[in-house]
Amino acid sequence: MKRSPHPLFAVLLACSLTTSWGGVWAQGHTGHTARKAPNPAAHGAAAAGDVGQLPPEVEAALQRAKVPRDALHVVVLDTTPNAPARLRVSAQTPVNPASLMKLVTTTAALDLLGPAFVWRTPVYVEGVVRDGTLQGNVYLRGSGDPRLVVERLWLLLRRVQGLGIQKIQGDIVLDRSAFDIAPRDAGGFDGEPLRPYNAAPDALLLNFKSLLIQFVPDRSANVARIQVEPPMAGVQMPTSVPLSAEACTDYRSALRADWSDPARIKFGGSYPMACGEKTWPVAYSAPSQFAGRAVLGMWQQLGGQLAGQVRDGTVPANLLPAFSVESAALSETIRDINKFSNNVMAQQLFLTLSQQQRGVGSPEASREVVQRWWRERVGGEAPVLDNGSGLSRDERISAQGLGRLLQVAWGSPSMSELMSSLPITGLDGTLRRSQSQAVAHLKTGSLRDVAGVAGYVETASGKRWVLVAILNHSNANAARAALDALIDWTAKQL
């Protein structure tokens, strides 16, 4: 049976978007400007190793977008390794791949962890329970689960209550020690700290550190009712906002939200009645406080009492878990990462690669793990890695390297899991609005001056080609028609 995302999760994936293929971008795609790599094929000179020429329809689309041909790095390969390239243009140059880098992270994870891998979040109870009161602490130990969203937190705390605990005389302790990561400025990448795609990874990542604020018009009262998930302890928020007769153009600006005080969120404007129901996902303005407020808020909503506080700490060495909650399998998780280009989920997975090998995950250790895996399984020059999601100014890989990776993945036991995680042209994910007429499973990548696709294109006869095409140019996103034309051309190759 095909799985549908939980409504809360689907909103987080789809509603924090800043633009897309043909009109709507996903979380992994931002307005940030990437550094342009030097190109040896400048001024139209053929780069070493080029095979064939860009199709005329691709050249024409580039010209319409005012993008020079040397900004396009492309390779079309047989799925069989070492077969001659069908097309290769400027494919050897390392460039910024944007979210195409998620292919490296997810392919390595399928190979190193296996498609059935799951994250387990153990819960520990310290002390004895008498008459519904625990004389001690409850510990939640994060393991890097990328999708510990609202409904799963609710189920976890219900299981705590299933142990006969209604009041905790001690504390609820959050153990984040599985990851060793430095604090970072949520707005440091592109100046958008309230965008959920900028959420930082966390060993105990709850609901992507984001609020889901739902507005429901009540015409009889002339207000829009406000509902918020998850419940946040100690945070004041209005329960309604006045309705207006304005057109539904930019309802977020019309609300005049004030996020300056994390404990008191205000709306100074109104909500257009014409918008109907809307859900606004917002990264919490004090991300370090999010987990503590969310856990306490959910515990209180369930009728639980806490004499102490929610705080960070570590599980005592000799304490055994009372139970664990499991994530979905990796094969399912990478569908969310690749189809919707979810950055923080990709970073969680990236850190998990070193956490599983070394006990504690860190960016530096994960870079070493992936680069070693690349040398052993893929060969050639390893990519330059940062956080494994592509939301980076520094990550680099060549079109040829990505093509070689996709050839290796095609011959791997988990090929079907990887391919089914990729968006399908014109149908779903970040390619839902693609204008290509071909049938293709392709990961997309976008930054302000990066646009790309990488994956598998099917011909009418059933043959599949590996296609990688990356544009690095200030007008890259105006040249998406060139990528669509290249997909269609690839589908016609015999």
pLDDT in tens, the chain (494 residues): 444 444 444 545 444 333 344 433 334 444 444 444 444 333 334 556 899 999 999 999 999 999 999 999 999 999 998 888 999 999 999 999 999 999 999 999 999 999 999 999 999 999 999 999 999 999 999 999 999 999 999 999 999 999 999 999 999 999 999 999 999 888 888 889 999 999 999 999 999 999 999 999 999 999 999 999 999 999 999 999 999 999 999 999 999 999 999 999 999 999 999 999 999 999 999 999 999 999 999 999 999 999 999 999 999 999 999 999 999 999 999 999 999 999 999 999 999 999 999 999 999 999 999 999 999 999 999 999 999 999 999 999 999 999 999 999 999 999 999 999 999 999 999 999 899 998 999 999 999 899 999 999 999 999 999 999 999 999 999 999 999 999 999 999 98
Residue intervals of the chain classified under CATH 3.40.710.10 are 7-115+329-491
Rounded distance between C-alpha atoms, residue 344 and residue 16, angstroms? 13
Question: How far is CA 113 from each of CA 118, 354, 387, 426, 473, rounded to the nearest angstrom?
Answer: 9, 11, 18, 31, 36
Asked if 27 and 340 count as a contact pair (C-beta separation under 8 A), the reply is: yes
pLDDT of amino acid 1: 41
Give me the sign of the Cα torsion angle 139, 141, 147, 152.
negative
pLDDT of amino acid 31: 45
pLDDT of amino acid 48: 60
The CATH homologous superfamily to which domain 119-327 belongs is: D-Ala-D-Ala carboxypeptidase C, peptidase S13 (3.50.80.20)
pLDDT of amino acid 49: 83
Return all residues near 220 (Cβ < 8 A) that are at least 6 apart: none
Return all residues near 69 (Cβ < 8 A) that are at least 6 apart: 44, 54, 59, 62, 89
C-alpha atoms less than 13 angstroms from C-alpha of 127 in its C-beta half-sphere: 18
Residue intervals of the chain classified under CATH 3.50.80.20 are 119-327
* DSSP one-letter code for 476: G
Prediction pTM value:
0.92
Rounded distance between C-alpha atoms, residue 192 and residue 206, angstroms? 20
Start-to-end CA distance of the chain, whole Å, equals 34
Tokens 């940030």 sit on residue: 32
Asked if 57 and 65 count as a contact pair (C-beta separation under 8 A), the reply is: no
Return all residues near 72 (Cβ < 8 A) that are at least 6 apart: 54, 58, 62, 89, 90, 469, 470, 471, 479, 482
pLDDT of amino acid 22: 42
Asked if 53 and 72 count as a contact pair (C-beta separation under 8 A), the reply is: no
Fold assignment, 7-115+329-491 = Beta-lactamase (3.40.710)
pLDDT of amino acid 37: 44
Both structure tokens of 384: 């330059």
